[in-house]
Structure formats: structure tokens, C-alpha cells
């Protein structure tokens, strides 16, 4: 982690972020199927109009999997009606104002009016819309905003003609907008301020008016005007040098869903890693990042050898400040990543394999709705494992697989093994799609594919996957359609085999089907032995840890008894200095032990971690564990008060909910 990064240093931003807490509180939203009460551009309408804009109502819970093609799957998290009219290209012209914390400018959307309708419905949330024009920008459009839903935002209803080609929206984002984190120089750990966006799952609409559904794809171009001496980068063709005038032009010639729209602006530098890949980061971080991520070209080669050519031109990685709420985000051409992967020994680079794998699973073949999220993440976790195996060998992969299996055990424990949230296919209508992003989609999804691989053989399975990516590239995919395709193309329509493999249970039932394969790692045998003897009373100094890698340590910590008594905690920390670990995975896993064991001597380390790292995957379990006892909750709240202003809204929403934060 970047030692100079301080997440809690900026009172001004603290106030702004605290002020926005109201708009980021979790809510139980209405589905967009309901007719929104209308608010016109000039103010609230006196009487709610009938709603020609409302999409068809969503069935609350499909009794059984609906067998439909993806185009007709209604996204419960979007107001848009792409079946009628689709946005096929976006042209952005935005000015970045670091003083006002606003992006201001125009989004021009090129419309393909499939059914000759007279309304285009866009998703927006918290945008200040000034004006909407059609085509050449000289024709004023009639437009109105639907009722505001805290999660889904407001439908922007623009009247168009069947021949309208362009809809131009002049707008600004608000300072508290959910997708964007505006970092002060102190927060960024830089002499300059920095901003980044995070659009997945449904936050693109908080910085761009768009059809914010993963089932809709568009190409885009953008002009971004920044203060001089800063660099702008996007999920598009990127500069490698700062421009003299602060103006940057971007082009994304491949059609992508809105959740892959991304922008970052800051004092960034570029270092090449190979001919086709490189890394962007702050000058103070970029050398370290380039060293850590040096194997990226090998991973690209391994991925291409498995499932076909990389379709996006370059593959670069942007290493962001520690408030970045995710480990990584697969923004096309430019993965966004947390600096917590810079462990100094390249031991956490499976994250790069993961985000790179999304260039096929997710970015080429995209989940049709967030209910099908496992098609993005389960496939990607499987593919990640294959890349890691190809580059670092089978024993390395085996360790990752065992650790992933442990994560799944934990997820089942947390959710309850019969919870519908342990299905691969989810029903998230009326809920925040973020609630479906836990380990189940990743680890149960990957285990499903590994089980299929083990059953049909690797060669056949690889051929199947390669054809799947080729066949559905630049399209979306839903669970029902995938199951159908799988039965037909991998199992040759053999229903008995499909039954044997419990295909439907994997996708549509909670828990784990009985045919799930069990990963095993030889390398972990000595670790299991060490856990046994240490738990049995042997001192830590007697554990032989020579040759242990990050993954050995993680397995050790995860399989120790919980809670561990104080004397053992003290012995471990004194012997291995776990509280001072510079490895974010080891440190966060140790800190879980600290909270579970109420091991007070390590509380300062816990506080340091929670106030310097904003990665939700770490924050969520730690705050959740703290919230289990009154003293823990009190400490959690005290730390959170200090840390919250430095977290991205995505992490704020999660921790607000855990701690019952009201600001
Ligand atoms: N696409 C996800 C991140 C994401 C998921 C953002 C859901 C918003 C909603 C990304 O590919 C991912 O899975 N990141 C992981 C790292 C990975 C190595 C498992 C993360 O952030 O921890
Ligand atoms: Zn992912």
C-alpha cells in the first residue's frame, strides 16, 4: 500500500461526502416497471401523467427459469426500453472541474429507432440536466424526468421523431454523484487531485445519461477537458503522455455496455510492460507497479492460447489510490486496480489474470442482466484459474482453488446454504444489484465450470468455451440461454447426461450440487500440519514456514480455529509480525482473526488498515465482524466516522448498512 496515501485527510471532502450520505443510503426500490410520477423540466407536474414511458411490469419471481433469448429479457434495473429504440453510439464532451467537483458538458446519443417510437427513455440518477436537443443541436426537445428512485434514479423521457438520429443532453454531475470519487491531493497521495469513476453495476447513469443496462451495447468517443498538467484516461484508446492543453480525445470502436464506461483523471504516468500492454499510475507508484505487473504480457499470451485472440487492441492497467472500492474492474483496454495488489513479491497478480479474463467473459459475452452476474464472474474466475495455471503451474492454481473453495464455504455460512442468494441465477428485481456480487457468483460459478471440465475432459471443454466466446462475442447472454446452449453444444442434447451433471440444480437451486468436484492442494499439506500442531499447543516458533508463499499464509490463517485465544494470537504476532504485514490479503485475513479473537494489541493496526484502504472486499467482513458485539460496533463506528469521508460511495453504502450509519 502507498504509505503516503491518507484517506481521511480532507475535511472539505469529508463534509461533502457526509452530506451526500442521504442519497447513498440503501433503499428498497420500486422496480422500474411501475409508472413513475413525472417531474417536468420546469418542475413537478401538477398531475401525474399516464406513463407511456414505463416498461412492462416485471414478474416478481419467475416460478421457473424462463426460456427466452436475451433480447427479450427485461432488465429490472433499467428504465430503458432498448427493444424499441437503442442507443448505438455515445459522444461525450465533458469538462472536469476539480473545484466544483463536477463534470459538465454534453452527451450526444445516436439512436437506432427500431420500432419507430416517439420516446427515448434513458437512465439518469442525480444529474443536473440543463437542456435536451435533437440532431444538429438546434432543435429543442421536449423532455421530462420520472419520479426519483434512490437506487434506480430517474427515467429521462425525451420526445423524438421516428427519424431522430441524435439526442443531445447538456448536463452536469453533482459533487456527491455515486460513480465518481473526487480525491484531494492529500487523499490521492499526489501533488494533484485525482478522480475516478466506477460504473458497474448501475452507476454509469450517475455520470452519463444512458441506457444503463448490460444488455445494451454502444461504441463511444469522448473529449475530456482537464486542468493542464493532468492526464485523462478512459476505457478506450488512451494517451501515454500528458497533452499541453489538457484536452484529451478518446475512441472506443467496439460496442460495450454502459457499466464499462470509465474515466480517471490525475497526475498519471505510463510505463510499458510489453508491446501491447502497460501500466498507468502516480509517478510515485508507477515503477513499483510496473515491476509487480511485469507478467501481464505472459498472461495475455496464455489467455489467447486458451480462448482465442484478444479483441480489444491494447491491455493496460491503471493502479489507483487505496480508496478504490474494488480489487479490480475490467474496464475495456484499461483495467482499474487497487494498489493493494502491490505486495512487492508479485503474489497477488491473479487479480490481473481475472480482469484480463473479463476481456472474454463479460466484455465480449456479457451478462444480460445483473441476475446473470455469474455468467460474468463465474466464467472469469474459471478463466483466471486457467491463466494462472498456464503461467505459474498446476500447484499454484491448486492453492488458489482451495482458497476459493474456502471463500465459498464462508459465503454459504453467511447466507445460509438454502438461501436463494446461493443460486447462480438470481432474482434481484427490487434490490440493489450489488447484493448479488458476493463470492457465490465467483466461486460456485467457477466450481460449476470446473466440474463440467472434469466430466467431459479439458480438451472438449476448452473447445466448447472457445466456440461460446466466438459465437456470442459482443452480445449478451442470460442464464436460460446459456443452459440451453450448454446442453446442446457440450452435452449434444443428451438429457440424461444433463440430469446426471445436475445442470439445472447448479444454476437454479441453492447450495452446492452433490457432484461438485473438491479442489485439493498438495502444497497445503504442511500448512494443515502446522495448523494442527499450533492449535494443539506447539509454539509458533516451532512452525517451519520456510518456503511459504502468500497463499500458504492465507490458508494457514483461514484454517486456524476461531476465535483463537489471546496467548496464541500474541505468539503468532510476536513470531511472524502479522500486524505489520505489507501484504493486504495476509493483513486483512489476520485482522479478521484479531476482531474475532478480540485481540486488542492489534487494534491500532486494524484502525490503520480501515482508515487507509477503501477496498470493499476487505471492509465488509471486518466491519461485519465488528458489528457483532456492542463494543465492536462502538469501535467500528468510531473508526468509520474518521474513515468514511475517504471511502468511495460504493463502500460507504455497504458499511453504512452494516453499522446502521445515519451520518
Ligand atoms: N467486475 C468486478 C468488480 C465489480 C463487481 C464491480 C460487481 C461492481 C460490481 C471485478 O472483475 C472483480 O471481480 N473484482 C474483484 C477481484 C477479483 C480478483 C475477484 C474484486 O474487486 O475484489
Ligand atoms: Zn470479475
Distances, alpha carbon 534 to alpha carbons 129, 195, 522, 632, in Å = 62, 46, 20, 27
Site to substitute for ligand 1 among 151, 235, 377, most atoms within 8 A of C-beta: 377
Q: Which of 145, 211, 206, 148 is nearest to 177 (CA)?
A: 206
Q: Coil, helix or strand for 416?
A: coil
Ligand 1 binding pocket includes 354 (Cβ within 6 Å) = yes
Please tell me the residue having the least CA distance from ligand 1 atom 15.
327
Distance CA 387, CA 565 (A): 39
Strands 269-272 and 277-281: antiparallel
Q: Is 173 exposed, middle or buried (0-12, 13-18, 19+ CB in 10 A)?
A: buried
- Residue 164 dihedral angles phi and psi, to the nearest 5°: -60, 130
Contact 517, 506 (CB under 8 A): no
Verify cis geometry, omega within 30 degrees of 0, for the bond prior to 201.
Answer: yes
Contact 235, 332 (CB under 8 A): yes
Instruction: Quote the radius of gyration of the chain (alpha carbons, Å).
Output: 24
Distance CA 657, CA 151 (A): 14
Alpha carbon distance, N-terminus to C-terminus of the chain: 28
Instruction: Please give the distance, rounded to the nearest whole angstrom, from the Cα atom of residue 214 to the centre of ligand 2.
Output: 14
| Ligand index nearest the alpha carbon of residue 437 | 1
Instruction: Please give the distance, rounded to the nearest whole angstrom, from the Cα atom of residue 356 to the centre of ligand 2.
Output: 9
Order across the sheet with 127-134: list the strands.
139-140, 127-134, 166-173, 102-113, 85-97, 218-225, 247-256
Distance CA 617, CA 340 (A): 12
Q: Which atom of ligand 1 sits closest to the CA of residue 373?
A: 7
Report the run of H or E that residue 387 belongs to, with start and end. helix 373-392
The angle subtended at Cα 469 by Cα 516 and Cα 203, nearest 5°, is: 85
According to the model, what pLDDT value does residue 57 have? 37
Distance CA 423, CA 181 (A): 32
According to the model, what pLDDT value does residue 62 have? 35
Instruction: Please give the distance, rounded to the nearest whole angstrom, from the Cα atom of residue 121 to the centre of ligand 1.
Output: 29
Catalytic residue among 442, 618, 640, 647: 442
Find residue 172's DSSP bridge partners: 104, 128
Ligand 1 binding pocket includes 648 (Cβ within 6 Å) = no
Please tell me the residue having the least CA distance from ligand 1 atom 18.
351
Q: Coil, helix or strand for 119?
A: strand
According to the model, what pLDDT value does residue 65 have? 34
| Helices and strands of the chain, counted as H and E runs | 22, 23
Q: Which of 466, 454, 432, 465 is nearest to 519 (CA)?
A: 454
Walking along the chain (663 residues) 10 residues at a time, the average pLDDT comes out as 34 29 31 38 31 34 36 85 98 98 99 98 98 98 98 98 98 98 98 98 99 98 97 98 98 98 98 98 98 98 98 98 98 98 98 99 98 98 99 98 98 95 97 95 98 98 98 98 98 98 98 98 98 98 97 98 97 98 98 98 98 98 98 98 98 98 89
Ligand 1 binding pocket includes 358 (Cβ within 6 Å) = yes
Q: Write down the H helix ranges in 517-615.
A: 525-535, 550-559, 566-576, 584-596, 603-612
Does residue 355 have an active-site annotation? yes
pLDDT digits (tens, 9 = 90+) for 590-619: 999 999 999 999 999 999 999 999 999 999
| Ligand index nearest the alpha carbon of residue 327 | 1
Distance CA 74, CA 59 (A): 10
Q: Write down the H helix ranges in 151-232.
A: 185-188
Does residue 631 have an active-site annotation? no
Distances, alpha carbon 427 to alpha carbons 423, 432, 483, in Å = 9, 11, 17
Distance CA 656, CA 434 (A): 14
The angle subtended at Cα 213 by Cα 209 and Cα 215, nearest 5°, is: 135
According to the model, what pLDDT value does residue 277 have? 98
Q: Coil, helix or strand for 127?
A: strand
Say how many CA atoms lie within 13 Å of 416 toward its Cβ. Answer: 3
Q: Write down the H helix ranges in 231-313.
A: 283-292, 296-307
Please tell me the residue having the least CA distance from ligand 1 atom 8.
200
Query: How many residues does the structure list for the chain?
Result: 663
- Residue 166 dihedral angles phi and psi, to the nearest 5°: -130, 140
Ligand 1 binding pocket includes 367 (Cβ within 6 Å) = no
Contact 472, 438 (CB under 8 A): no
Distance CA 640, CA 662 (A): 12
Q: Which pTM value belongs to this model?
A: 0.91
**DSSP per-residue codes, 2-52:** -TT--TT--HHHHHHHHHTHHHHS---PPPTTSPPPPEETTEE-SSPPP-T
Q: Kindly report the number of other CB atoms within 10 A of residue 539's CB atom.
A: 13
Ligand 1 binding pocket includes 351 (Cβ within 6 Å) = yes
According to the model, what pLDDT value does residue 261 have? 99
Contact 319, 412 (CB under 8 A): no
Contact 14, 645 (CB under 8 A): yes
Strands 119-124 and 328-329: unpaired
According to the model, what pLDDT value does residue 401 have? 98
- Which residues make up the environment of ion ligand 2, defined by Cβ < 5 Å? 377, 380
* Torsion region of 396: left, alpha or beta (phi above 0 gives left; psi -120 to 50 gives alpha): alpha
Contact 372, 353 (CB under 8 A): no
Instruction: Please give the distance, rounded to the nearest whole angstrom, from the Cα atom of residue 354 to the centre of ligand 2.
Output: 6
| Ligand index nearest the alpha carbon of residue 432 | 1
Q: Coil, helix or strand for 247?
A: strand
Q: Which of 391, 384, 383, 259 is nearest to 332 (CA)?
A: 259
According to the model, what pLDDT value does residue 11 have? 29
According to the model, what pLDDT value does residue 405 have? 98
Say how many CA atoms lie within 13 Å of 48 toward its Cβ. Answer: 12
Q: Kindly report the number of other CB atoms within 10 A of residue 324's CB atom.
A: 28
Please tell me the residue having the least CA distance from ligand 1 atom 3.
329
Distances, alpha carbon 80 to alpha carbons 41, 115, 200, in Å = 19, 14, 17
According to the model, what pLDDT value does residue 74 have? 87
According to the model, what pLDDT value does residue 72 have? 56
Amino acid at each position: 500500500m502507498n504509505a503516503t496515501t491518507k484517506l481521511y485527510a480532507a475535511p472539505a471532502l469529508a463534509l461533502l461526502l457526509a452530506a451526500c450520505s442521504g442519497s447513498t443510503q440503501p433503499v428498497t426500490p420500486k422496480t422500474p416497471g411501475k409508472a413513475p410520477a413525472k417531474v417536468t423540466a420546469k418542475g413537478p407536474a401538477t398531475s401525474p401523467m399516464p406513463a407511456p414511458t414505463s416498461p412492462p411490469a416485471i414478474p416478481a419471481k419467475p416460478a421457473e427459469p424462463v426460456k427466452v433469448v436475451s433480447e427479450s429479457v427485461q432488465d429490472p434495473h433499467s428504465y430503458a426500453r432498448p427493444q424499441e429504440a437503442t442507443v448505438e453510439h455515445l459522444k461525450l464532451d465533458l469538462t472536469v472541474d476539480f473545484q466544483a467537483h463536477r463534470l459538465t458538458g454534453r452527451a450526444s446519443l445516436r439512436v437506432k429507432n427500431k420500432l419507430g417510437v416517439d420516446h427515448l427513455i434513458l437512465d439518469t440518477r442525480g444529474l443536473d440536466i440543463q437542456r435536451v436537443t435533437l440532431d444538429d443541436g438546434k432543435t429543442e426537445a421536449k423532455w421530462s424526468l420520472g419520479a426519483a428512485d434512490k437506487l434506480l434514479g430517474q427515467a429521462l423521457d425525451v420526445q423524438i421523431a421516428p427519424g431522430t438520429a441524435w439526442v443531445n443532453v447538456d448536463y452536469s454531475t453533482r459533487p456527491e454523484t455515486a460513480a465518481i470519487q473526487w480525491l484531494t491531493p492529500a487523499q490521492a497521495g499526489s501533488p494533484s487531485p485525482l478522480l475516478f469513476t466506477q460504473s458497474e453495476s448501475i452507476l454509469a447513469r450517475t455520470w452519463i445519461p444512458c441506457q444503463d443496462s448490460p444488455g445494451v451495447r454502444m461504441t463511444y468517443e469522448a473529449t475530456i477537458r482537464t486542468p493542464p498538467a493532468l492526464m485523462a484516461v478512459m476505457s478506450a484508446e488512451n494517451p501515454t503522455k500528458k497533452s499541453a492543453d489538457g484536452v484529451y480525445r478518446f475512441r472506443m470502436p467496439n460496442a460495450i455496455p454502459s457499466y464499462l464506461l470509465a474515466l480517471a483523471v490525475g497526475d498519471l504516468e505510463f510505463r510499458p510492460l510489453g508491446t501491447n500492454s502497460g501500466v498507468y499510475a502516480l509517478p510515485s507508484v508507477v515503477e513499483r507497479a510496473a515491476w509487480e505487473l511485469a507478467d501481464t504480457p505472459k498472461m495475455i499470451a496464455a489467455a489467447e492460447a486458451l480462448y482465442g485472440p484478444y479483441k480489444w487492441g491494447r491491455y493496460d492497467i491503471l493502479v489507483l489510490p487505496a480508496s478504490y472500492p474494488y480489487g479490480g474492474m475490467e474496464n475495456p483496454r484499461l483495467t482499474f486496480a487497487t494498489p493493494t495488489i502491490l505486495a512487492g513479491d508479485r503474489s497477488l497478480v491473479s487479480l490481473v489474470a481475472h480482469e484480463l479474463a473479463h476481456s472474454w467473459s463479460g466484455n465480449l459475452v456479457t451478462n444480460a442482466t445483473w441476475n446473470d452476474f455469474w455468467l460474468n464472474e463465474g466464467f472469469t474466475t474459471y478463466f483466471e484459474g486457467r491463466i494462472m495455471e498456464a503461467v505459474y503451474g498446476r500447484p499454484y492454481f491448486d492453492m488458489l482453488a482451495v482458497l476459493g473453495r474456502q471463500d465459498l464455504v464462508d459465503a454459504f455460512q453467511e447466507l445460509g446454504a438454502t438461501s436463494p442468494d446461493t443460486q447462480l441465477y438470481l432474482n434481484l428485481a427490487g434490490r440493489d444489484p450489488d447484493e448479488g456480487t458476493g463470492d457465490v457468483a465467483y466461486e460456485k460459478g467457477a466450481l460449476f465450470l470446473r466440474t463440467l471440465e472434469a466430466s467431459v475432459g479439458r480438451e472438449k471443454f476448452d473447445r466448447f468455451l472457445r466456440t461460446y466466446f466466438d459465437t456470442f462475442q459482443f452480445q449478451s447472454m442470460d442464464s436460460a440461454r446459456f443452459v440451453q446452449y450448454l446442453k446442446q453444444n457440450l452435452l449434444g442434447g443428451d438429457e440424461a447426461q444433463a440430469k446426471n451433471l445436475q445442470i439445472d440444480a447448479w444454476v437454479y437451486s441453492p447450495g452446492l450440487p452433490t457432484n461438485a468436484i473438491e479442489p485439493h492442494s498438495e502444497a497445503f499439506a504442511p500448512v494443515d500440519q502446522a495448523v494442527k500442531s499450533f492449535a494443539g499447543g506447539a509454539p509458533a516458533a516451532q512452525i517451519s514456514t520456510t518456503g511459504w508463499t502468500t497463499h500458504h499464509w492465507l490458508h494457514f490463517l483461514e484454517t486456524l480455529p476461531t476465535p483463537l485465544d489471546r496467548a496464541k494470537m500474541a505468539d503468532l504476532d510476536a513470531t511472524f509480525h502479522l500486524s505489520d504485514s505489507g501484504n493486504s490479503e495476509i493483513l486483512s485475513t489476520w485482522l479478521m482473526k484479531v476482531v474475532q479473537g478480540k485481540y486488542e494489541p492489534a487494534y491500532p493496526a486494524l484502525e490503520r488498515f480501515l482508515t487507509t484502504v477503501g477496498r470493499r472486499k476487505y471492509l465488509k467482513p471486518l466491519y461485519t465482524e465488528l458489528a457483532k458485539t456492542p463494543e465492536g460496533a462502538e469501535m467500528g463506528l468510531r473508526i468509520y466516522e474518521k474513515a468514511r469521508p475517504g471511502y468511495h460511495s460504493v463502500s460507504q453504502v455497504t458499511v453504512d448498512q452494516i453499522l446502521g450509519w445515519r451520518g
